[in-house]
Amino acid sequence: MSDTTQIEEPLVKIRGLTFRRGSRAIFDGIDIDIQRGKVTAIMGPSGTGKTTLLKLIGGQLRPDAGTIHVDGQDIHALNTRELYKLRMRMGMLFQSGALLTDISVFENVAYPIREHTDLPESMIRKLLLLKLEAVGLRGARDLMPSELSGGMARRVALARAMVLDPMMIMYDEPFTGQDPISMGVLVKLIRKLNDASRLSSIIVSHDVQETAQIADQIYVISNGRVIESGSPERIMNSELEWTDQFVHGHADGPVPFHYPAADLDEDLLSGSRMESSC
C-alpha cells in the first residue's frame, strides 16, 4: 500500500519474447523489465542475440511472438509515424559508432537536431558545444569520423545519441575493443550521464567487470533464455554453474571450450589412414 511509487511501470517491459532466424530460436520466451532511471545490463556470450534484442526494442525487427512495451506503448503495434516519434526519445549507441562517414563530427551530432527541430543555427551551435563538452570532444568538432580513434568515435556517437535528450539510451557492447583509458572514461561517462540526465540505460555486453561496475541490475541470457537476473553482487557470486563460468571466465564448465568434434585419437588415426590409402 505504502510503496505505490516503487511499483512504477518499467520503462521497457518485455514479455514472452520469441524471435527466430531460420529455424533457430534466438529468443525463446524471455521476460525482461528495464526500470526507469537505472542502468540495466544484459549479458551473454557472443552470438546470443544481444544486438538482436536491442533491435527488437528499437522496433527494427519484429518478434515472432511476445510483446515489447516501451514507455507504455506496444512498439510493434505502432504505425511508422508513431514509431519514429518514439524513436526520437530513444538513443542507441551502435557497436561501431555508426557515424555518418561523409560529414564532420559536429554535423554528425547535429544531424538529429537538424532533422527533427527547427532550431536556429546559433542555438544548435551552443547546444552542440555543450553536448560535445560532456563527452570531452569539444575540440574535435571539425574532425571527420575517419580521423577519430575507436574510443573517440564511440563518444561522438554517445553525444549524438543524447542530443535530443532521450528518455533512454541503449549501448551495444560499449566496452569492446577499447583501451583501458577509454574504457575507464566510458564507464564513468555512462554512469554520469545516466544519473545527471535522469536517463534509463540499457547496456548489452560480454565485458563482465566493467558492466558489473556500473549496472544496477543484470540479466544473464544464453540459448534464448534468461538464466539469471539480479544485482551485480548476486550475479558475481552466483551459485549457478553456468553464470559462474561466464562471469569468471573458466575454460571448463557447462559451456564447452571445444567445438563439438569426433574423438581426437580417432580423428588423427582416420587422417593417417586416408593418407596411406592415397
Rank residues 200 and 222 by Cβ distance to another protein and give the closer one.
Answer: 200
Q: How far is CA 34 from the centre of its chain?
A: 12
Q: Are 171 and 40 in contact (CB under 8 A)?
A: no
Rank residues 84 and 267 by Cβ distance to another protein and give the closer one.
Answer: 84
What crossing angle do the helices spanning 180-196 and 150-162 adopt, rounded to 10°?
10
| Residue that is written with C-alpha cell 506503448 in the block | 73
Residues that bind another protein (CB under 8 A): 55, 58, 60, 84-85, 87-88, 90-92, 94-96, 98-101, 111-112, 115-116, 160
Q: Which of 16, 47, 136, 177 binds ligand ADP (CB under 6 A)?
A: 47
60 binds, among Mg ion, another protein, ligand ADP, none (CB under 5 to 8 A by kind): another protein
21 binds, among another protein, ligand ADP, Mg ion, none (CB under 5 to 8 A by kind): ligand ADP
Grid coordinates of 261: 568434434
| Residue that is written with C-alpha cell 561466464 in the block | 246
For CA atoms 167, 170, 175, 178, give the dihedral sign: negative
Q: Which of 4, 46, 101, 277 binds ligand ADP (CB under 6 A)?
A: 46
Nearest to 218 by CA among 209, 229, 205: 229
101 binds, among another protein, Mg ion, ligand ADP, none (CB under 5 to 8 A by kind): another protein
Q: For residue 242, report the phi and psi dihedrals to the nearest 5 degrees.
A: -65, -50
Rank residues 104 and 243 by Cβ distance to another protein and give the closer one.
Answer: 104
Rank residues 48 and 217 by Cβ distance to ligand ADP and give the closer one.
Answer: 48
Check binding of 52 to ligand ADP (CB under 6 A).
Answer: yes
Q: Residue length, the chain?
A: 278
Residues at the contact surface with ligand ADP, assessed by CB under 6 A? 21, 26, 46-52
